[in-house]
């Protein structure tokens, strides 16, 4: 009887441990529009696969509720459509490798139609695909992508390369009295860091005090509020451009297939960054008004090149030209071509100004 009781207790402990081990959850990759080229069967027609808010949308099938589950190495995506034009019982199954979340590797099939494999990359301005459903009015790098507004879609890489710009010119006379005077010195408010969440008039207590522009309850960079709880104000000068490049140094003997970066920029000198990835790099960007998050993935399988990308900013009024030292690049996460994690501390990145 004693042996039976001891064995049962051990079994319960093992089962409890197994339940804990399997309870860890991983966040799914954020929503994205993936461009599929060239055309992969009549089901996709060379358009986009949109994944957002628990729904999956195909150009010829419309939207349907999908099963989107985050995992350690990839986010799994499954979606079904009872009817897509002449096709029935359509099934899409794929994965989005983590942590880069920059490609969709999937298969699609229908009743009496063999499965077809395809790869999708994030829809971005200048990728050679005119994505009108994604908000592009034109795309100067796409074949016929400027037909929506001939000669008004600026060259690839420019901030307005996917926007129809006015073709007419207007002469405006500005009185010298309307030009704002720039202060000779500027003193920025400083909010001390909180010692505890109960402290007042300090950075990190989730309360925006008089000397702060934001406070998200912590004093770290990389999220929607900087470590100082203050974003320097800026009045962008429309039509101005200041371009910088982001490079990285890989660890010896390893090929980097995915990178997560955070580029802190001088928000009082430049603002409204536009990202242009170099050839062989795909990814997603998120501007936080003082820095920009970049999730990058090697799109050709030979390792991420360097430089990785270019950032084109607008200048701020009354601000001197920034130097490369005014920018700070940090590697947040990394992986090799097989999605194995690489220690981010073994990789450095930097910002250079041409």
Whether the predicted pLDDT of 325 surpasses 90: yes
| pLDDT (0 to 100) of residue 155 | 67
Mean pLDDT in residue range 236-244: 94
Assign 6 a pLDDT band (cuts: 50, 70, 90).
Answer: very low
- Alpha carbons 46 and 38: distance in angstroms, whole number: 5
> What is the topology classification, in CATH, of domain 242-352?
Immunoglobulin-like (2.60.40)
Are 278 and 305 spatial neighbours (Cβ–Cβ below 8 Å)? yes
Q: What radius of gyration, in Å, describes the C-alpha atoms of the chain?
A: 25
Of residues 113 and 171, more confidently modeled: 113
Whether the predicted pLDDT of 107 surpasses 50: yes
Whether the predicted pLDDT of 148 surpasses 90: no
Whether the predicted pLDDT of 244 surpasses 80: yes
Q: Where are the domains of the chain?
A: 32-122, 242-352
Structure tokens at 207: 């309360």
Residue written as token pair 């985050």: 70
Mean pLDDT in residue range 204-226: 92
Residue 23: count of CB within 10 angstroms of its CB = 7
Whether the predicted pLDDT of 9 surpasses 60: no
Q: Tell me the per-residue pLDDT of 60-69, one tens digit each, with 9 for 90 and over.
A: 788 899 999 9
- pTM, two decimal places: 0.51
């Amino acid at each position: 009887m004693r042996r039976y009781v001891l064995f049962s207790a051990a079994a319960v402990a093992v089962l409890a441990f197994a339940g804990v081990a399997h309870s860890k959850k991983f966040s799914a990759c954020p929503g994205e529009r993936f461009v599929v080229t060239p055309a992969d069967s009549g089901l996709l027609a060379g358009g986009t696969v949109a994944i957002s808010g628990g729904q999956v949308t195909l150009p010829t099938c419309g939207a349907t509720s999908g099963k989107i589950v985050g995992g350690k190495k990839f986010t799994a995506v499954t979606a079904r459509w009872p009817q897509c034009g002449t096709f029935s019982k359509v099934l899409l199954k794929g994965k989005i490798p983590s942590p880069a979340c920059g490609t969709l590797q999937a298969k699609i099939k229908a009743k009496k139609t063999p499965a077809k494999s395809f790869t999708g990359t994030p829809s971005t301005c200048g990728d050679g695909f005119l994505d009108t459903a994604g908000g592009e009015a034109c795309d100067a790098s796409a074949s016929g992508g400027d037909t929506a507004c001939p000669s008004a879609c600026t060259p690839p890489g420019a901030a307005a390369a996917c926007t129809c710009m006015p073709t007419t010119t207007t002469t405006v006379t500005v009185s010298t009295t309307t030009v704002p005077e720039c202060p000779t010195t500027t003193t920025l408010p400083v909010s001390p860091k909180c010692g505890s969440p109960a402290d007042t008039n300090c950075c990190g207590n989730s309360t925006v005090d008089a000397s702060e522009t934001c406070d998200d309850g912590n004093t770290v960079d990389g999220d929607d509020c900087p470590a100082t709880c203050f974003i320097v104000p800026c009045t962008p000068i429309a039509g101005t451009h200041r371009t910088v490049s982001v490079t990285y140094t890989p660890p010896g003997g390893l090929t980097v297939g995915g990178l997560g970066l955070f580029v802190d920029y001088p928000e009082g000198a430049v603002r409204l960054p536009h990202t242009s990835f170099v050839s062989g790099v795909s990814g997603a960007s998120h501007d936080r008004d003082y820095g920009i998050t970049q999730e990058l993935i090697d799109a050709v399988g030979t390792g991420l090149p360097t430089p990785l990308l270019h950032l084109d900013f607008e200048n701020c009024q009354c601000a001197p030209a920034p130097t490369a030292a005014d920018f700070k690049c940090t590697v947040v996460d990394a992986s090799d071509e097989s999605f194995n994690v690489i220690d981010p501390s073994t990789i450095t990145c930097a910002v250079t100004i041409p």
